[in-house]
Amino acid sequence: MVFIEGFCSLGAEVLALRQIIPHLGSSILVTAPTIGFFLLALALGYHAGAKIDGDYLAAVGKNFLLAAALIGVGLAGVGVDLLFTVFRPPELAYLILIGGVLCPIAWLLGQTVPILTNLLQHQRAGEASGQALYYSTLGSFLGSLSLSLVIMQWLGVSAAVALCALLLVVGFVLLRGGHRANLAIGAAVAMTIAVANAWLRPEIETAYASYLVVPANFTGAENGRALKNNSSYASLIDDAEPPHYARYIQHIRGILLDELAFRDRRILVLGAGGFTLSHREPLNRYTYVDIDPAVRGIAEKHFLRQAARGEFVADDARRFVIQTDQRFAAAIVDVYGSHSSIPGHLVTREFWQATRRVLEPNGLLIANLILDSALATPYSRNLLATIEHVYGRCAVEVLQKKQFLANVVVTCRNGETPEAVHLFVDERNTADIDLARSR
């Protein structure tokens, strides 16, 4: 029972962190409070469990059943999506998810070790508590590894949620005995878990993202469809001849194929999306890098409905540009964990410096950023300043100027390290000198 508690408690934390990504991303501002609140609730659970002085198996059984329901429904994709749909802003939904689902799970399961330690037959209290903590921590270790590296990878997130919840249902039945009423209660909760995680969730889930292909109407589209990644539109395509794509993809294709007339050049794409940049484009050689090893198969089967052109590497974008020996004529940065949320380690100065090493001399960096169309927010100004600190002045094109959030395509050359800038002022106007130096 203590092993099941450890497996499912840390499993619940891993699942909560994964389910939050589509809505709030995976920044440290989200993950750190989630872990902190979980540990606080766990500590309060230890304290509450220490006060239980009788009917130990019944108390743990009840806690297991309640925790199973909270995990199986509250951490299911449909449950989390419902919270973030009903409650706005998303920060409010986050607080409700943590305070109303994850923390109660931790509090209920945290009571297990101090309660069941009373039943361990050892002469010393230290030996009993040590044995209990050993099996609990062992369960936590195996739960975190098996759920993230095995279950989520091969069967999806819903399967991981269902496994954790059903393990607790099994624990409840074993603790409370096989009486007909207990079996009926356990079966009802198990059925609810199965419905929430198998029948009500249409997405294709992996350890990294949830994917869904839906009909889409966009300019000129014939039977358009969209690939959604973590509830956000990632790629567009239709059945026209030639096909239409997302506006920023068509813009980038125009830069590469028409303006620069790239032919037989090597192009790196960080963030695979729907593999539309190379769709029906035989003139150049493409290498896609995406952290999710399943994304190519999903895109080919459900979105493109044909084989994707180009080589595919399953890797983290930053690790790839640091370690690869390959060099490319252009690198396209299009990395999003959810709508407008770029992973934090892919916006820093050090990341942009690493992208320079994979480019040929005078090679091209093209970044698709989702920013406010006025480029006025601190995030927009600081991100653009970070890129230009590394590359020097870049071309910045806002594609949807009437919208608040817009695709912003940033194009930079991999030239020499830029000189520090200075202003032209009446007192010391060096414009003519600089102009002569630039010819």
The DSSP annotation for 117-184 comes to: GGG---SSHHHHHHHHHHHHHHHHHHHHHHIIIIIHHHT-HHHHHHHHHHHHHHHHHHHH-S-HHHHH
Q: How far is CA 239 from each of CA 222, 278, 304, rounded to the nearest angstrom?
A: 6, 16, 10
Nearest to 248 by CA among 414, 404, 397: 397
Of how many residues is the chain composed?
A: 439
Q: Which strands make up the sheet holding 359-372, listed edge to edge? A: 311-314, 285-290, 266-270, 328-333, 359-372, 405-413, 395-398
Beta-carbon contacts of 334 under 8 Å, excluding residues fewer than 6 positions away, are 269, 270, 271, 273, 367, 368
Is 252 within 8 Å of 242 (Cβ atoms)? no
The pLDDT value given to residue 104: 97
What CA–CA distance (Å, rounded) separates 12 from 398?
41
User: Which is it for the CA torsion 24, 28, 29, 31, positive or negative?
Assistant: positive
The amino acid present at 301, given as its one-letter code, is K
What CA–CA distance (Å, rounded) separates 196 from 41?
25
What CA–CA distance (Å, rounded) separates 299 from 305?
8
Q: Which of the residues in the chain have pLDDT under 70?
A: 122-123, 199-203, 337-340
The DSSP call for residue 341 is B
Query: What SS3 state is found at 337?
Result: coil
Query: What SS3 state is found at 276?
Result: coil
The pLDDT value given to residue 122: 67
The pLDDT value given to residue 27: 80
Rg, Å, the chain Cα set: 26
Number of other CB atoms surrounding residue 249 within 10 Å = 22
- Is residue 89 reached through a cis peptide bond, with omega within 30 degrees of 0 on the bond before it? yes
What CA–CA distance (Å, rounded) separates 134 from 206?
31
The pLDDT value given to residue 209: 81
Distance of CA 366 to the CA centre of its chain: 22
What CA–CA distance (Å, rounded) separates 342 from 350?
15
For the chain, domains (ranges, CATH) are: 2-201 (1.20.1250), 210-413 (3.40.50.150)
The amino acid present at 423, given as its one-letter code, is L
Q: What is the separation, in whole angstroms, between the first and last Cα of the chain?
A: 77
What CA–CA distance (Å, rounded) separates 201 from 72?
13
Phi, psi of 177 (to 5 degrees): 90, 160
What CA–CA distance (Å, rounded) separates 46 from 67?
15
